[in-house]
Amino acid sequence: MFELLKTDSHTKARCGRLKTAHGVVETPVFMPVGTQATVKAVDPRELRELGAQIILGNTYHLCIRPGIEVIRAAGGLHAFMNWHGPILTDSGGYQVFSLAKIRKVRPHGVEFQSHVDGARLFLGPKEAMQIQRELGSDIAMAFDECPPHTATQRQFRAAVERTIHWARECREQPHANGQLVFGIVQGGTDAQLRRHCAEAVVALGFDGYAIGGVSVGEPEPEMMKAIELTEPYLPIDKPRYAMGLGTPAQIIEMIARGIDMFDCVLPTRVARNGGAFTRKGLLSIKTAAFKTDFSPIEEGCDCFACRHFTRAYLRHLLNVGEILGLRMLSVHNTRMFMRLLADARAAIAAGNFDEFRRQFVANYKPSRRILAARGPD
């Protein structure tokens, strides 16, 4: 199922191969987010051309719209959205955090008041796994409780115990043919809670393990601390997934900390706000500085936008509200993330990842414009 191919000699970076029902995924890998059964502004053909290996869907959102009965009638999520590569589905656990104002946590699950029409929706381990089974995703996530980073110690402890209990229930549920199931580790930045949760969830024998409770508004040092506190207790021979992360520089740093899988809404969300990711940082294409700049978004990028359009033209499209502008930035940003992860894999395989990491981080200028990295897209 997961084959570890090589580990970097200077860091914890790894490259591997994850076999799923709909294809092989080379790791480390970035997974574009398709919350509503689509990666915003990028179609399946483009995703394949851009190098996407696996994408995400969301249990909570797809259950509400269009409804599981529609997707079931279509023959499953792959057929419904015409994406025939691997799909990972989030269980809805993140919505326990993001929709805190319209939900109530119960011992056996969470009562949601639909953000669309106010209808009641109950999601627990049994329900989340059943929905993902019917979606037919290649990787189903266990249902967990994701607390905010501002939670009290008592709240973190309660969330960890519920996450462990719910993980046990998820493990007992049937799943689709060939479907892998990943457990999730919570615990904030408390070393004891992270270890306790990791050891308990790992003992259940999942196909892979995710680090949850990150990218929930915490400062970056706390994010990295949560990763570092969890990773030592995750099996070497199973894939490791940091949920909802992150910026290009964060991803490179987390690869160095032994993480294999990433997802984030930033490539398309930042694009819709006029931002373009490059190896040197984020560009705000809408600004006047690019009015007569007839160079591509990024020299050396092989995406359709960089091969055919200039910064000046894309700025014009964005400033007059033309959809092509945000589409092309979405294409470029997605390709930038795909190329970055491909280069990271190559560097690990060649034995020079630490040098690659140091050069990238030194050249990349973080931006204060970055929007929230986690959430539906």
Contact in structure between 330 and 270 (CB atoms under 8 Å):
no
How many beta carbons lie within 10 A of that of residue 105, not counting itself? 15
Considering the candidates 8, 90, 207, 260, report the single residue annotated as catalytic. 90
Edge-to-edge strands of the sheet including 29-32? 29-32, 261-264, 240-242, 208-211, 180-185, 139-141, 87-90, 55-58
The encoded tokens of residue 183 equal 């457990």
3-state secondary structure of 292: coil
Nearest one of 201, 211, 96 to 151, comparing CA atoms: 96
Q: Respond yes or no: is residue 90 known to be catalytic.
A: yes
Say if CB 19 and CB 139 are below 8 A apart: no
One-letter amino acid for residue 287 of the chain: T
| Cis bond before residue 66 (omega within 30° of 0) | yes
Tokens of 372: 């929230």
Burial 320-332 (b: 16+ CB within 10 A, else e): eeeeebbbbbbbb
Whether 38 contacts 25, CB under 8 Å: no
Q: Is residue 117 among the annotated active site residues? A: no
List, in order, residues 6 or more apart from 30 with CB less than 8 Å away: 251, 262, 263, 264, 337, 338, 340, 341
Question: Can you read off the two tokens belonging to residue 240?
Answer: 């490791």
Angle between helices 191-202 and 153-172 (to 10 degrees): 10
Q: How far is CA 181 from the centre of its chain?
A: 16
Catalytic residue among 8, 190, 207, 263: 263
Which runs of E-coded beta strand occur in the chain?
A: 2-7, 14-20, 23-27, 29-32, 55-58, 87-90, 103-106, 109-113, 120-123, 139-141, 180-185, 208-211, 240-242, 261-264, 275-278, 281-284
Q: Residue 173: CB partners within 8 Å, gap ≥ 6?
A: 125, 126, 129, 130, 133
Q: Report, as residue numbers or ranges, the catalytic residues.
A: 90, 263
